[in-house]
Structure 1
């Protein structure tokens, strides 16, 4: 994909979404369930869509939330439901629609005071804390809903369900909710209960609580906050207009940290954002173009931190080094944690997705720990984080979580706040930035060269991806090296990849279709150099193209 000529430059008026029109369509457009694009569809992070094209409207939320209520009733879940939302324009509207259904079904709903924003990790941590000590079948178990399309553009909306384990719902749960919700849409919402939002507010049915303080107070259990304070680490924060914007001041006050917000804007158009590589407004904290505003401050602080709108992702900026590649920071974080968490059991595993850097494999092996390699999607880490058998779970897309310092569960969803604060802890304890630590790892294990490219794909080709294997690939070499393995299932848990991973002694590639777009993604890594990576990616594209064409 060619780089947009204004990538990294602040958005202009013509780039901004017409918010009044967007909101009016949310309420007045009825989805056509005969059109696949307008049906409820849960990808790896819930249902996402846009009111402009009929894929995220009031009827979708009413149907999805009633389906969640039905699932809760079927499973005997009767505890508090924590409801969070981010700062996208459609999130506020969807929040109101969700409340109307939840309260009509007599669900005990807790929201942030003043109906403000709540990050995904805060909802997850609240669920974990509420359920601590309760048996699996306890009727008082809590769960949650988060209204967010993550880092998607301003016109998009999203909603996801976190069951009592606190993390993203498993595929069988999301499939059940998806099918139930589409049945409600097909039957014109028959059976969906609703209570007028104004009526619910007037009679005090919405329970507002301070969700910020418990989360901030508990941070000391997972991060060495005292070390950061003693060292006087200077931290620059760009919330990217996201849901955690009001958390940083509370964190600074409670722990005496030197934290500065370099951007305190909240705006549903996200008009303060620099454009991403494709010229779109996208709050992607792993993109140097979207993070261009924070990068201007990189030499003013010991570390700068950015997060996406629901705060489940992190971007780490180090002085003179710029934005760290997510794979590089994951490697540093894992190495540091395994060296500085003495209470962690030697039996704890480290989780990574199979498209994350192989440098992580080498680091984990050097600490004599077991690696758990899983398919793409944070849901694969949930059980291990929940039962504290997995010390760390991380995705190549800049999302991760890890256990408390004592080895117990912190949360079971991605937490961009603790990953950001961990960077400050690393500086405080070691005197080196995460970028400097990465270079130390490179000197020890060798440099890896990593890339991801996206290519268009039609529906027929997308369906063929699940049938790819060593036979359909029909190849013995990759970038001049003998192929050593062709994987269709993840070695860590045996789950289907939904695509394919091919390895050699000098590199690997993986290919899988996007869960939300008409694209397939190819990830590749070379252990040799950039030229070898170029050849590897070219070969990978051709191999996948030929396999999809020839697969019957």
Structure 2
């Protein structure tokens, strides 16, 4: 039990720790939690990603839950996490479990619980599940539920097309990179259904992800950028391993910083709608400038889409997002969805070149540059680093005076020139993260150097 700990987005670990007996304990904990919440025996969904072990773990969870009296809906093949979240609301389920390690390498796997509203579980829920970890129990066999193999893709596709009023993407050429993950046959399919010509990259299932972790960052998407150029495409779109995140490649910029995609997305949605945005502490202040220009507000949260989702519900937000590529929008489940965002990105590009939109925003609001680095830090040292850092925060960073410190998630130091530096513990890896944003790349580099110099002596 001590090895099972739900972090930022569920429990993830290497396969020597993430074992069938422990996964079954998680299944029993969820069954016990639902029983205590008055949802005993109510139906659930179980999803899983494209890893070699994921289907087997999903079947183990299904066995535990059905033997506790729950009917279970299980997809016929691996599928994106957001399809499972949508299925909860679409089918009026008590929640879902998803077996996925998202962008982690193939030697990892993970599991997370999504409650009945389709939004990520908050800490009080995951803590309650952790408190109920135990060896699986069984109801009398006559009370067992049934596992039903179903298709989550079609209802989700129909919902997304309806949400965007059935966009016409005819004439648009998109290169789609599934990174061998669960977005294959889903994101590309919805783009084709809307009329786009889709050129596929890494759209074959490979449990080893071609030797590259399914993390859609700049380094891993050089092939997508080359394909966009080779095919003279209008856009490149990639998803991570479980397709809850998106990355975009444009003809002029190549890999588009997720902060710029968020800015373009919010600007696009504000053309026909209104409402605040929700962003994490690590996400660009460009969102704030766009909101201010439209008379809207921005609500800042700690890192982790569960906090974004909570704030979206509280404030009826038009959009919510994070700099790591996770986004959702009003009218959809409050879970990040790389499939929906792939369709939105293509719809944006069909109406106006995304590079041109970003250029216009930067012309109006000024230059924004952001980057981050990581400092190795054992998990049991993270709290110590934060305690020590609280006593050592300087009055000046990289030559500029500190005007405010935000402690919502680690320490975010806001400086007199409008730049900022953020230090926070990673929720998924033994690292401290250091982020910076400023008006030039050189200034960002100076801030990151200063942040690293603050953190490294404390680890």
TM-score category (smaller protein): over 0.9
The root-mean-square deviation of aligned C-alpha atoms, in Å, is 2.3
Within 5 Å, give how 1:223-372 maps onto structure 2.
Answer: 223-229=164-170, 232-248=171-187, 250-252=189-191, 254-271=193-210, 281-285=212-216, 287-299=217-229, 300=231, 301-339=233-271, 341-342=272-273, 346=274, 348-372=275-299
Once the two structures are overlaid, the 10-residue window that deviates more, 91-100 or 306-315, is 91-100
CA distance in 2, matches of 1:158, 1:99: 15
2:150 maps to what in 1?
209
Q: Name the SS for the 2:361 alignment partner.
A: helix
Residues 75-86 of structure 1 mapped to structure 2, 5 A cutoff? 75-77=37-39, 78-86=41-49
Indicate the residue corresponding to 1:46 in structure 2.
Answer: 10
Aligned-partner SS, 1:410: coil
Quote the offset at 1:226 in angstroms. 2.7
My pick for the range that moved more, 216-225 or 310-319, is: 216-225
Which of 447, 452, 455 does residue 541 from structure 1 map onto?
452
Question: How far apart, CA to CA, are the structure 2 residues paired with 1:375 and 1:267?
Answer: 34
Separation in structure 2 between the aligned mates of residue 469 and residue 50 of structure 1, nearest angstrom: 31
Deviation at 1:381, TM superposition (A): 2.2
Q: Pick from 3, 7, 20 the counterpart of residue 58 of structure 1.
A: 20
TM-superposition CA deviations, 1:23-53 (whole Å, max 9, x none): xxxxxxxxxx5xx6xx0011111000112xx
Q: CA deviation at 1:171?
A: 0.7
Number of the residue aligned with 1:123: 84
- Corresponding residue number in structure 1 for 2:373: 453
Alignment partner, residue 66 of structure 2: 103
| Aligned equivalents of 1:322, 1:310: Cα separation in 2 | 23
Secondary structure in 1 matching 2:91 = helix
Structure 2 unaligned segments of length 5 or more: list them. Answer: none
Query: Which residue number corresponds to residue 35 of structure 2?
Result: 73
CA distance in 2, matches of 1:474, 1:427: 43
1:533 and 1:402 map into 2 onto residues whose CA distance is: 30
Give a deviation string over 1:419-465, Cα, whole Å, max 9, x none. Answer: 111121112222x1x23321221111111221111001245531224
Is 2:116 the counterpart of 1:164?
Answer: yes
Q: Deviations over 1:513-551 (max 9, x none)?
A: 112322100111112x222222222222233456x48xx
| 1:192 equivalent in alignment to 2:137 | yes
Deviations 1:268-295 (A, max 9, x none): 1222x5xxxxxxx21111x122123322
Structure 1 runs of 4+ off > 6 angstroms? none
1:333 Cα deviation after fit? 0.9
Superposed displacement of residue 253, structure 1: 5.5
Partner deviation per Cα, 1:464-509 (whole Å, 9 max, x = no partner): 2453676x134211111110001112xxxxxxx2x11100122111
- Retained in 2: the 8 A contact 1:144–1:162? yes
Q: Partners in 2 of 1:284 and 1:119 — Cα distance?
A: 14
Assess if the C-alpha contact under 8 Å between 1:82 and 1:110 holds in 2.
Answer: yes
Change (3 A) 1:415 1:388: farther
State the partner residue of 1:475: 394
Q: Is the 8 A contact 1:227 1:429 kept in 2?
A: no
Unaligned runs of 5+ in 1: 1-32, 132-140, 274-280, 404-408, 490-496
Instruction: Render the CA deviation track for 1:199-236: whole Å, top value 9, x for unaligned.
Output: x9xx993212222111111112322433323xx21111
- Provide closer, same or farther for how the CA distance between residues 102 and 488 of structure 1 changes in structure 2, counting only shifts above 3 A: same
* Distance (whole Å) between structure 2 residues aligned to residue 411 and residue 521 of structure 1: 29
Q: Deviations over 1:368-395 (max 9, x none)?
A: 1110000000001223444671211101
Quick one: structure 1 residues 226 and 526, their matched pair in 2 at CA, closer, same or farther if it must change by over 3 Å? closer
TM-score, normalisation: structure 2: 0.93
Paired residue for 2:130? 178
Whole-angstrom CA distance in 1 between matches of 2:188 and 2:384: 50
Q: In structure 2, what is the Cα distance between the partners aligned to 1:254 and 1:459?
A: 45
Match of 1:514 among 404, 426, 442: 426
Summarize deviations over 1:211-265 as a string: whole Å, max 9, x none.
Answer: 2111111112322433323xx2111111111112122464256433322323331
Q: What is the rounded CA distance, in whole Å, between the counterparts of 2:208 and 2:451 in structure 1?
A: 38
> Once the 2 structures are TM-superposed, how far is the Cα of residue 154 of structure 1 from its aligned partner?
1.1
Q: Distance in 2 between matches of 1:205 and 1:337?
A: 42
Q: Distance in 2 between matches of 1:194 and 1:94?
A: 21
After superposition, the Cα gap between the structure-2 partners of 1:415 and 1:362, relative to the gap in structure 1 and judged at 3 Å, is same
8 Å CA contact retained: 1:89, 1:155: no
On the 8 A contact 1:312/1:416 being kept in 2, the answer is yes
Instruction: Provide the C-alpha distance between the structure 2 equivalents of 1:228 and 1:63, rounded to a whole number of angstroms.
Output: 46
The match for 1:462 is 382
Q: Supply the distance in 1 between the matched residues of 2:201 and 2:72 (Cα, whole angstroms).
A: 34
